Amino acid sequence: MWIEKDNALHAELKFENFKKAFAFMTEVAFIAEGLNHHPEWSNVYNRVNIKLTTHDAGNTVTEKDREMAEQIATIYEK
């Protein structure tokens, strides 16, 4: 699901429809707030593209990104 490229973790996720994609993003938003670590992402209809990198660490992948990626994967797999 996740690809590490250019000092970031990337995922492109596909959903049944826009409503399910948006519900997923809402759930991830609560996780992001709890971790104080926010993704760069975009949504077009049933697709969500996510990029995780830690800006405070010089725009590189850190344990924060890996933890968030794991939680996002868990939500997506539901």
CA distance 75 to 41: 16
pTM above 0.85, yes or no: yes
- Among 42, 69, 58, CA closest to 7: 58
- What does the pLDDT read at residue 21? 98
- What does the pLDDT read at residue 58? 86
> In this predicted model, what pLDDT tens digit does every residue of 9-61 receive, in sequence order?
999 999 999 999 999 999 999 999 999 999 999 999 999 999 999 988 888 99
CA distance 17 to 37: 26
Q: Which domains does the chain have, with CATH numbers?
A: 3-76 (3.30.1360.20)
- What does the pLDDT read at residue 3? 98
